[in-house]
Structure 1
Amino acid sequence: MTRAYMGTLVGVAFGLAWAFGGFGQMLIVLFVTLIGYVIGKVLDGDIDVSRFVPERRQSR
């Protein structure tokens, strides 16, 4: 999926949220979209979160 296609889908989602839910609902959609974007970047390996996550230690 190209970035232009993804941008179009996001734009349509924001437009629908604004048209049917108002400006506040659009901001909620924007916030949730940004969270999903960051999670996707982490899962793709583009963002390194290892410094924020404690190391796993095995206790015996």
Structure 2
Amino acid sequence: MRMAIVGLFAGMALAFAGYFGGFGAFLLVAALGAIGFVVGRFLDGDLEPGVFFRPRDRDR
């Protein structure tokens, strides 16, 4: 599925949540969407678990 279509569906879901549920529902849908995006990227193999838990370089 094209990213534009996925973005369209995500925007529509956020709009419905904001309209019918208020700002709290809007934030909940946005947060769960972001978590789902990260999990999807992980399952597709685009991300590795070490990306989030690896210590940062402190040389800078």
Q: TM-score range by the shorter chain?
A: 0.7 to 0.9
Structure 1: stretches of 5+ with no match in the other structure: 53-60
> One-letter code of the match for 2:6?
M
Larger helix percent? 2
Tell me the residue number matched to 2:16.
16
- Give the TM-score normalised by the residue count of structure 2: 0.81
Segments of 4+ moved more than 6 angstroms:
none
Cα deviation 1:30-58 (Å, max 9, x = unaligned): 00001100000000111111575xxxxxx
Instruction: State the alpha-carbon separation in 2 of the partners of residues 43 and 4 from structure 1.
Output: 21
Instruction: State the alpha-carbon separation in 2 of the partners of residues 39 and 21 from structure 1.
Output: 25
Tell me the residue number matched to 2:58.
none
Secondary structure of residue in 1 paired with 2:46: coil
- Give the TM-score normalised by the residue count of structure 1: 0.81
Larger Rg computed on CA atoms? 1
Tell me the residue number matched to 2:4.
4
Structure 2: stretches of 5+ with no match in the other structure: 54-60
Q: What is the RMSD of the two structures over their aligned residues, measured on CA atoms? A: 1.2
Aligned residues: 52
Tell me the residue number matched to 1:31.
31
